[in-house]
Amino acid sequence: MTALDDAERLLVSGSFERAKGEAAAARKDARSTSERVAAECVWIQAEYKLGGLTRHDLDAARMVTGFGEEFHRASVLLWSRLRLADPTDPAEAEGAPERDERFAAVAPGANHASLLGRTVQVFWPSEETWHAGRVLRFDPGSGGASVLYATGDVEQGVVVDALAEKGHLFVL
């Protein structure tokens, strides 16, 4: 298990302060841009859950102080989405009874790596609602994805093909 895996596990379990620390370590150890962005995104989500995000200029200065360099532009986009989320927009809604028609069905068996960074809607049968989120990671070996939902929660191991086959996954 890597520091990034630990950081995501801590984030999902609600240990936000510890998740920030592990995410910082994972960012330093990142071997690729995607690992760096994933670590930054975990850090930003933990900060969001702790109520630590304020203004872009202040947060950016804190990020540079803490990490020695600015965050990747994809990470800053996540920061913007969390700070500026509009719950009246169906793509940002925490749960909606109807699917947003702007989203297109994800085809089973397709190249799901292309979902990385994209906004998706996932149907949760137990709640009979659609939930908007962004795909943070995709593992081609397992076919699982990590999805950051509009609520700020992260779900790991989302089996993309299984959802696509049921018609429960759409992409913007």
Residue 111's φ and ψ, nearest 5 degrees, are -75, 90
In this prediction the pTM is: 0.51
Of all residues in the chain, the percent with pLDDT exceeding 90 is 2
Averaged pLDDT score across all residues of the chain: 77
Within 13 Å and on the Cβ side, how many CA atoms surround 165? Answer: 5
All structural domains of the chain with their residue ranges: 3-83, 104-171
Top CATH class of 104-171 equals mainly beta
Q: What is the pLDDT of residues 36-84, one digit of tens each?
A: 888 888 888 888 778 777 666 666 676 666 666 766 666 666 665 555 4
Q: Give the per-residue pLDDT at 81.
A: 57
Q: How far is CA 130 from the centre of its chain?
A: 16
Q: What is the pLDDT of residue 18?
A: 92
Q: Which residues of the chain have pLDDT under 50?
A: 84-87, 90-91
